[in-house]
Structure 1
């Protein structure tokens, strides 16, 4: 373990750094969650059709596929403070501009730029938090702060946006102004250069592409969002069409699912005392398989509800565990670039998930597609088990190196079991 799990032994300012990174990840969700209630009003104001409405979302999410990795490389060169402060400032000023410029071209252009920031900051905040602790309970505790901050923001911003909508169709963009005071705080809290946690036995800077188990770790990164967005997109369809659930009930269940994710994210710290991050993901993959089978069975509304809630239980653990895993498996000297690559892969998973699920439904029914995805989660469990094996081997090497480097006192007399 790189850092102690004891709070008292952590360097001054580490806690503030973790919270600034967590709030950064939470506040920039306002770019989507804050304007969700306003999408119908935006459609009506500009007279958009259904395809054009999709542009409001797609121009925001698409840049994240490319900006996450670039942001990781940039952070290694100029430090996290400049990247985070600059990103928060650009994001907030974009929201300010949309309060005064009301043409569609400006709206889409600002959304595109904000999407670049969104993809970049969502990714590097994982690495910034990882600089406080790479592994162990402290790492899970720190990463859970980010998950909870995001979950809280995703719950609060739609409410605030809905209230502001009573003022005007563009008023919900005001939620994005919260990033401006946070940028000021970040300037004083973050460092120009983040201390790079080193693992025992590491020497020279290692290429991102030579990281151990890089393929497996990235598969697990994409898998979480492939399953998550498939569940969030198609469970409501199945619940309404197959078992006669009301839209309101589905909404409450999805909200409860998110709340459970936040709770289990906090509990992951306890699990870290018994299992490695990769082993937690292995367990989560098996729970995903069970939840997808229950949802796909669609025998009754209660069964679908249990499957959805079971999915929420594992999602918080999975989110924290993979953030920790990415920091643990990142090479020395290129950790932020590795985290950026992981963020890019996650964003690809978000985009491809509904497309993959929808493509399968061309040949299978929706319940059968859930069963097929349950089979994929079993394959994901096998990948997680393979990564766990690599992680165990690395930790064994680290332990051997630490043991070899322990100083010995040759002057200490040899002890015997002879009684005096």
Structure 2
């Protein structure tokens, strides 16, 4: 049972608070905390890319500081504000000597984390993305501003606490002409905004207008520094345009005094993790952006399941050969974290541009995985109930794909990657 907003505020009132999770869920909780006069003293995150950075003027530190902070702050409260990996964080806290009294799960008070894919298309065809699949006939389009407002109003009406919304899944949000107005509507309703973009967009005016709205989080997705490497895996993109837009981002952030946190999300393949990665790291340091790395996967879920079922599509075979950690290695690395519980299904509501609701964010082909044909006409209870009858979930869990998609056991992934020599060059 979801606990009330009042009980959350009562538990946290007058306590110094650490938010564990400095990305979007944590940023959303920070917005909620500031609106309710809570005392946030620090962010905690295990990701080295975020540590020692400021998120809306709050410092992000390593979990190592918690023991000292417990002595420094009386009755310290740790709010675990992540959409995934809660169990891992709880285990870490227990190993540090913390008790159940010391931490609060934000998910106990917020039933669902929402993603609205405002665009049903992308200007690129990256090999690890559903939009690159040959012959795909999934409908494309964009969510109207009117429907977006209706969706947001319904989300607010069905949930006591809504702190953040992500405006992307498979689509490119910067293709939406009303993106600044969409961000504004969410902010007016007290909701933090997350964006993700390939940034290979030739629209300086839109970029400036978006940053003027100061969305809380902007993830820049790329996979190289030099054109010959980048264009293999962000197919159709222009890395020179991306880098130019990164400089424009810095300009507009300073001009509008925006607190948007820019996280350059570098997708690792077997030919881009040496010189290209180092050059991009240097650029991010110059621009004062965070740079995080992620292992590219076989996606979407349907393609991954076909591969594991022995259906050998040439596109998928080629993609798997390009990965720094291929699917067999990734499944083995994450195997010890397999579970019958899937956070993608349990706590996420994903709304497509056409108002259809897929069972989770990892699927793409709507045949057999749609749990609502129209979000506005289905209750939250109906959507969650329909998720339980989605046949694809049983097969996904059988293969251990939730743990694979979350990249659990990162140390093992890094060990596998370290045995391979990067093939990248200028």
Structure having the larger proportion of residues in strand: 2
TM-score between both structures, scaled by the size of structure 1: 0.26
Structure having the larger proportion of residues in helix: 1
Task: Find the structure with the greater CA-based Rg.
Answer: 1
Structure ranking higher on relative contact order (CA contacts 8 Å, 6+ apart): 1
